[in-house]
Amino acid sequence: MDSYMALSKKDLSLNITLNELYNTHSLLQQHLEALARNEKNHLRILLDDLGPAPPQVSRKENRAIELALFSRWEMPIQDLTTTLMAENNLTQNDILYMESKSIFVQLIRSIPQLTERRPINLPVIAERAATAKDATLVRKGIKVKEMLRELEELRLVDRRDGYKLLTEEVGAELTHLGNMREKVISETKSLESVYKTICDHNNYLRSQLEQYKAYLQNVRMTSGGGGGKNKPIGGVGVVSVDGKEKKVNKQAQALGPFKFSHAQFEKDGIIVETNVPENRQSNIFFLITSPSPGTYLIGLHYKGREKAILEMDLKIDDLLEKQKENVQLLDLEYVQLNVPKILALLNKTFVRKR
């Protein structure tokens, strides 16, 4: 989800090595048809402009760089007056014309409903902004009305042809920049599709988890005993004795709690490492309960306290998996337990009693 959260952030930067950058470029080109089928897709346009991906460089030349991330289709309209005044070849009238066009583009993008009307009516847009509730729009609306009047006095635009030249240039600018409302709607639909996909996958994983739990519980219920005729067979919560199915009394299945001192666990080598101060170790003890076959609850207690300092729910499958992967330690925050020895203790204490 972090990737999608980043879509709403600004001033983004990316720290990346040259080879990572070139490899990403190569992968995008390789899968371009799947990622951007439309000829007008921004990704396809960018990759066409970039050309083929550069080859990988040597380790010595593979330096990390920081790239500022932005979209060239979302470049903000700059203060044209400041920019153009630096150009000696432009007159004040040219600057007035360009700034008027810029303000009209800003107003239309700020009020997306205006783009639905064709052809674009510049006086109506200026009046709409000047009478808006937003103070910024009001200032810009009043300013551009005055600028439009000045342009007409300078005969750079003509009211009789509906300010044709300026209208056409504003329309072309909007086409280039893209309509903000359409872009937001498009991104919203895209994110809704991503969100739906994530939810569907999450539901699938939950379904798989529930099936796994049911299967695992069934295995635990049917794996007790030694394989003789009294070995339980059947579904979850049901055992079969001498061919007759009986419901299992869940309360009868629970075993424990069994109490073990900190000193006893240390002596047996079950505690590999402890963070409990020596002067308090005599007050520490463990209670181990088995609510159901293959499930254990280990509680670390302190004498005089009703509630456990720490409790951990363990599954025999998880412990066996740790042992298979050669994970020797089980972290209980205050103590580190030896996995093979805790397995042996659970087997000795519970399995033989069932």
pLDDT (0 to 100) of residue 80: 46
pLDDT (0 to 100) of residue 243: 47
Query: Mean pLDDT over residues 329-345, rounded?
Result: 89
How many residues in total does the chain contain? 354
Query: Mean pLDDT over residues 154-161, rounded?
Result: 88
- Alpha carbon distance 230, 241 (integer Å): 5
- Alpha carbon distance 332, 274 (integer Å): 10
Contact 341, 335 (CB under 8 A): no
pLDDT at 165 over 80: yes
- Alpha carbon distance 218, 212 (integer Å): 10
pLDDT tens-place string over residues 169-186: 888 887 777 656 677 787
pLDDT (0 to 100) of residue 231: 44
Distances (CA, A) of 162 to 152, 275, 277: 11, 83, 88
Query: CA torsion, points 164, 169, 175, 176, in degrees to nearest 10?
Result: 170
Pairing between β-strand 244-247 and β-strand 64-69 as defined by DSSP bridges: unpaired
H or E element, residue 212: helix 180-222
**Nearest residue to 349 via CA among 216, 273, 256:** 256
pLDDT tens-place string over residues 206-259: 877 776 776 677 676 666 544 444 444 444 444 444 444 444 444 446 787 999
Higher local confidence (pLDDT), 102 or 234:
102
- Alpha carbon distance 280, 73 (integer Å): 66
pLDDT (0 to 100) of residue 336: 93
pLDDT at 8 over 80: no
pLDDT at 303 over 60: yes
**Nearest residue to 128 via CA among 149, 114, 146:** 114
pLDDT (0 to 100) of residue 295: 85
pLDDT at 1 over 60: no
pLDDT (0 to 100) of residue 9: 54
The band of 353, judged by pLDDT with boundaries at 50, 70 and 90, is low
Sign of CA dihedral 169, 171, 172, 177: positive
Angle (CA) 127 130 135, round 5°: 160
The band of 89, judged by pLDDT with boundaries at 50, 70 and 90, is low
Contact 255, 290 (CB under 8 A): yes
pLDDT (0 to 100) of residue 269: 92
Query: Mean pLDDT over residues 45-62, rounded?
Result: 90
pLDDT (0 to 100) of residue 236: 42
Higher local confidence (pLDDT), 114 or 341:
341
Contact 233, 239 (CB under 8 A): yes
Structure tokens belonging to residue 215: 């299967």
